[in-house]
Amino acid sequence: MFKKLNILDENNPHLRKISIDAKLPLKKEYKDTINQIIKELTYSQIEEYATKYKLRPGMGLAFAQLGINERIIVIVHEYEDGKFNNYVFVNPRITSYSDEMIAAEAGEGCLSVNRDVEGHIKRHARVTVEGFDVDGNKIKVRAREELSIAFQHEIDHLNGILFYDRIDKNKPFFSEDEIRLI
């Protein structure tokens, strides 16, 4: 039985709150929510299931988007056709990042923003993220390119920032000469 998550809309004030550190190890209810998020994000990236369950494609979700203002993010990254890596970070922190900046050529989207928003968002091409797994063990990942963008996007949610807050109103688009578009 598949039950869709109740993802908050961009106008919900919960999305503008700064999330607090989650207590470890996570309670069973949170672990169950994480499993549900992984399932929905995975299904949303597989056309057959996305159509069947009317899911918008997404690769990440922060607990803040469910109205739970605790520092937990989930990313489901399709690294090869039909193959996924799941990243669950509790209390994540970006501990280092590259000087090189990139932007998603098509722009970014968000499961809480049910409209197209035009513009490029400058992100670090590579980030190192440290945090904890659901049982309280320290974990660390070095993310590149699309995965790096996803981590920065989801961690922004924990700080009350939506992706379009980062679009430069005076210069919403960059050329390949100005930034590497991926």
Global pTM value: 0.97
CATH code for the domain of 167: 3.90.45.10
User: Cα dist. 28→6, 34, 61, 121 in Å?
Assistant: 19, 10, 18, 36
Please answer whether residues 75 and 60 qualify as being in contact, where contact means their C-beta atoms are separated by less than 8 angstroms. yes
Does the structure show a pLDDT above 80 at 1? no
* Count of domains forming the chain: 1
Q: Catalytic amino acids?
A: 154
In a domain, 5, yes or no: no
**Assigned token pair, 66:** 């469910």
- The per-residue pLDDT for range 39-72, each reduced to its tens digit, is 999 999 999 999 999 999 999 999 999 999 999 9
**Assigned token pair, 36:** 């549900």
In a domain, 23, yes or no: yes
In a domain, 59, yes or no: yes
- Of 122, 97, 128, 126, whose CA–CA distance to 181 is shortest? 122
Q: What is the mean pLDDT of residues 81-110?
A: 97
**Integer Cα distance of 31 and 56 in angstroms:** 23
- State the chain's mean pLDDT as an integer: 97
